[in-house]
Structure 1
Amino acid sequence: MKTVPAILRRVTTAFRDDCRGLAAVEFAFILPLMLVMFFGTVEISSGVAVDRKVTLMARTLSDLTSQAIQVSDSDLKAFFTASVGIMTPYDASPTKATLSEIYIDSNKIAKIKWSKAATIASGATQATLTNSTRTVGQDVSSLIPTALLVPGTYLIFSEISYKYVPTIGYVMAKTGINLSDVAYTRPRQSLCVIYPTTSPLPLCPT
């Protein structure tokens, strides 16, 4: 007849040598880490893609405007709409865009000559023009790279901001991350881009 200690030793030895559940236990330990890494990779990849689109939006907006001699509200609305379309397939509604023309005087002081902003509602296909936070005459010299502060010249200045909110929020903040970028383009067809449109075409404001 086996004694209790002998039975316990046999059971303990058998339990110690039994590896049938080892893989399941290891998987249970590493599964949370695998999920965090997977969703983190997805979130970071999406964030990088959106940030790249924000940069493209800023460049597209200034580039389209710089190709005109004069622009109307309908022109600006079309430019804003085309730029915001770059966000596809991501939601464009968090986008805020501002477009301004800047004049650099003889003292290399850069000031706003005109400015317009736009937003887009969720599910909308057209941008909506709004009043810009930039005001005519505002000194924006600190925002312009030194190499672009050429006296007597104009710049088309676009600003884009976008609040990226991750789907899961495992790695990035659930409240979202503010992404932004700016772009500068010189007028291509004339010294400046006139806004609003008038007839006859006036001289560029200084």
Structure 2
Amino acid sequence: MNTRSRFIGWLNRFRAAQNGSAVVEFALILPIMLMLYIGMVEGSTLISMDRKVQTVSGAVGDLVARSDGAISSTTLNDYIKVASGIMTPYANDKLVQLVTQVYVDDKGKATVDWSRRYVGQAVQSTGAYAQGSEYKKLPAEVVAISSKQYVIVTECALSYTPLYGIIFDKAVNLYRENFYIPRFRDRIILN
């Protein structure tokens, strides 16, 4: 009985003891709190970059669609360089941009008039759509409103590599596409 009463006394003292309980509770909750914090940082950065990719695609498409009849390659290159300001503070050296003008005939068939591809704001000789090829990525809604008209299509893609790789351990591919009918409803010639 002496051993039993000592054991019960020890359990009562252990239950009543408060010294160090805050440290133990903190040690138990710390990993969960760190995971939540890192996950929120990664998630908010990912959302921010996705918004910036959308803004780049939209801004370039809108600028090109405002052209009146013709646009020079130099002006198009300047529009592409807008991305560096929009993407700040994130790097844009792997940002892929495509600017394409397609013609939609009265039967709904879209044909590429011209196309330019940029990687890191430098024009690329490959990767753009071939002139005269069929463009199959126009949504039905865009085809319906652009019969016998030209459409400016801007595409923007970026592979986001997570900062820490703890919560998101693989690269996330961000992609946005915008469609604009030229403001003056005519073909925009790329010089």
TM-score, with structure 2 as normaliser: 0.89
Q: RMSD in angstroms over aligned alpha carbons? A: 1.8
Q: Give the aligned partner of residue 55 of structure 2.
A: 56
Q: Give the aligned partner of residue 151 of structure 1.
A: 147
Q: Give the aligned partner of residue 184 of structure 2.
A: 189
How many angstroms apart in 2 are the aligned matches of 1:76 and 1:158?
Answer: 12
How many angstroms apart in 1 are the aligned matches of 2:29 and 2:58?
Answer: 44
CA shift at 1:22, angstroms?
Answer: 1.2
**Pair 1:96–1:73, CA change in 2 (3 A):** same
Greater shift, 132-141 or 5-14, is seen at 5-14
Q: Which amino acid aligns with 1:70?
A: A
The alignment partner of 1:76 has SS state of helix
Structure 1: gaps spanning 5 or more residues: 121-126, 198-206
CA offset digits 1:12-49 (Å, max 9, x no partner): 43233211111111111111000000110111111111
Question: Which residues of 2 match residues 135-174 of structure 1 at below 5 A?
Answer: 135-141=130-136, 143-149=137-143, 150-172=146-168, 174=169
| Identity across matched positions, percent | 26
Structure 2: gaps spanning 5 or more residues: none
Q: Which amino acid aligns with 2:82?
A: A
* Cα pair 2:95 2:157 within 8 Å, conserved: yes
TM-score, with structure 1 as normaliser: 0.83
The alignment partner of 1:137 has SS state of coil
* Cα pair 1:119 1:129 within 8 Å, conserved: yes
CA shift at 1:71, angstroms?
Answer: 1.9
Greater shift, 54-63 or 4-13, is seen at 4-13
**Pair 1:99–1:6, CA change in 2 (3 A):** same
